[in-house]
């Protein structure tokens, strides 16, 4: 029985190369959940096969900047002359429908969301099992030069120091372990008294207003 | 990979008749955990077959009262001229060894523990799926008179109003659901940043002292 019908906003983040995308995939492959992936908004043109509202919401630069003015992004950034952002109103609608909205974003974006939402989202930091594992992953990624790998490594080393700002730290030792732990976090968060007490009181006909003292 | 080697103190509580014992049994029957049941201390004499340190720690009244003076109980109460209590030092030793210590106690005892430990234990309130289900359970319990059933029901009705003082509310709709959810809570609590950050920093060789701002 569920005492909490609103979905949770789950921010999955972690350093470059930690395997956020793989963990997120494994999480979505698990049975019996109501997870949805947050679709970003962008000003770049759709590529062949991309559908508006599926890969991205495609908007004009004017529209995007208007939304920035109206404070309608949980986070946004500009890369190579194009904006990318998480539309707050769309996320809010999904949460109200009981969907668990998963945001898989970089550390800087996660910190923007944290600033905006404080305790209204669950911040999970995906950590590498060791520095050398992270470096190996960054190297194995592609055919980039050693300079690019090292630059990514420097960035990752700055990012791993920000784990303390998150609610949970989950080590990506195996993808299955990490996904399992994240699912446990989601289930536990839904049982928290702050999220369940209203429905609980209704269910049992408790009318007094109790205040935590 | 575990970033938190200390065990958790898990307080399972809820109104009379909610099925705390059954949920606790189901929890202990689950695979792959490090749960231990907290053994109470008592001044009553051992019954046939009872072993000191297994069913209870059996002590004299003088010993028990000395321990009360020394503040060595997480909670205690006197029933029918005998003391019963949870020995703080034994629990602490088990937690340090990485055991998850489960305390299955009544609401009044749980509130004593809460007062003593604040955020150092996880307080889970096991709730009935409905008032009528609770009443049926209290009636089905034994051969007691309707007066005794009603007295228990009155007590349970006072207890259900105290759920807001707990960290989590778990509905005992089915024993399996409740036990599953409690296990998720235990796993999630171990991933909390406040419990993992020290080991995480050590693992990744992070030496700066970061303070949450």
Q: Are residues B28 and B110 in the same domain?
A: yes
Q: pLDDT 10s digit of each residue in chain A, 213 long?
A: 888 889 999 999 999 889 999 999 999 999 988 999 999 999 999 999 999 999 999 999 999 999 999 999 999 999 889 999 999 999 999 999 999 999 999 999 999 999 988 878 999 999 999 999 998 888 877 767 888 889 889 999 999 999 999 999 999 999 999 999 999 999 999 999 999 999 999 998 887 655 554
Q: Are residues B23 and B76 in the same domain?
A: no
d(CA A203, CA A100): 23
pTM across the whole model: 0.91
Q: Are residues B77 and B11 in the same domain?
A: no
Looking at the domain assignment, is residue A45 inside a domain? no
Give the closest of A169, A191, A205 to B200, CB-based: A169
Residues of B in contact with A168 (CB under 8 A): 188, 191-193, 196
> What value does the mean pLDDT take over residues B31-41?
92
Q: Are residues B160 and B89 in the same domain?
A: no
> What value does the mean pLDDT take over residues B79-105?
94
Q: Are residues B127 and B210 in the same domain?
A: yes
Distance of CA B80 to the CA centre of its chain: 23
Domain end residue (candidates: B97, B124, B145): B97
Q: Are residues B44 and B69 in the same domain?
A: yes
Number of domains in chain B: 2
> What's the CATH number where A118 sits?
3.40.50.300
Residues of A in contact with B164 (CB under 8 A): 193, 197, 210-212
Q: Are residues B105 and B184 in the same domain?
A: yes
Could you read off the pLDDT of B140-188 as tens digits, one per residue? 777 678 888 898 899 999 999 999 999 999 999 999 999 999 999 999 9
Q: Are residues B137 and B199 in the same domain?
A: yes
Strands B56-58 and B40-42: parallel
Domain end residue (candidates: B47, B82, B97): B97
> Which 3 state secondary structure label does DSSP give A54?
coil
Could you read off the pLDDT of A9-65 as tens digits, one per residue? 999 999 988 999 999 999 999 998 899 999 999 999 999 999 999 999 999 999 999
Looking at the domain assignment, is residue A188 inside a domain? yes
Give the range of the structural domain holding residue B130, as residue numbers without chain letter: 1-34+98-213
Mean of all residue pLDDT scores within chain A: 92
The secondary element (H helix, E strand) that includes residue B193 is helix B193-203
Q: Are residues B15 and B93 in the same domain?
A: no
Looking at the domain assignment, is residue A109 inside a domain? yes
For residue A137, what pLDDT is reported? 87
Q: Are residues B77 and B117 in the same domain?
A: no
Whether the Cβ atoms of residue A88 and residue A74 lie closer than 8 Å to each other: yes
Looking at the domain assignment, is residue A166 inside a domain? yes
Q: Are residues B208 and B129 in the same domain?
A: yes
Q: Identify the contact set of chain A against chain B, taking CB-CB distances under 8 A.
A: 1, 3, 125, 127-131, 160-171, 173, 177, 180-181, 183-185, 187-189, 191-193, 196-197, 200, 203-206, 208, 210-212
For residue B209, what pLDDT is reported? 55
For residue B35, what pLDDT is reported? 96
For residue A211, what pLDDT is reported? 54
Q: Are residues B27 and B45 in the same domain?
A: no
Domain end residue (candidates: B97, B113, B128): B97
Instruction: Count Cβ neighbours within 10 Å for each residue of A66-76 and write b for 16 or more, e otherwise.
Output: ebeeeebbbbb
> What's the CATH number where B88 sits?
3.30.63.10
The ipTM estimated for the assembled molecules is 0.89
């Amino acid at each position: 029985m569920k005492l909490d019908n609103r979905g949770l906003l789950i921010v999955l983040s972690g350093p470059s190369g930690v395997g956020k995308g793989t963990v997120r995939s494994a999480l979505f492959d698990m049975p019996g959940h109501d997870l949805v992936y947050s679709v970003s908004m962008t000003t770049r043109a759709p590529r062949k096969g991309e559908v508006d509202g599926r890969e991205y919401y495609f908007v004009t630069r004017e529209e995007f900047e208007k939304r920035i003015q109206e404070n309608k992004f949980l986070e946004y950034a500009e890369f190579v002359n194009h904006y990318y952002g998480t539309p707050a109103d769309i996320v809010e609608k999904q949460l109200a429908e009981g969907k668990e909205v998963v945001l898989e974003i970089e550390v800087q974006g996660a910190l923007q969301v944290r600033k905006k939402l404080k305790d209204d989202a669950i911040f999970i930091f995906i950590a590498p099992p060791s520095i050398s594992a992270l470096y190996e992953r960054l190297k194995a990624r592609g055919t980039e030069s050693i300079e690019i790998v090292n630059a990514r490594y420097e960035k990752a080393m700055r990012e791993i120091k920000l784990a303390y700002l998150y609610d949970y730290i989950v080590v990506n030792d195996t993808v299955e372990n990490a996904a399992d732990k994240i699912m446990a976090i989601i289930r536990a968060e839904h049982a928290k008294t702050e999220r369940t007490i209203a429905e609980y009181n209704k269910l049992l006909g408790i009318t007094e207003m109790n205040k935590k003292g």
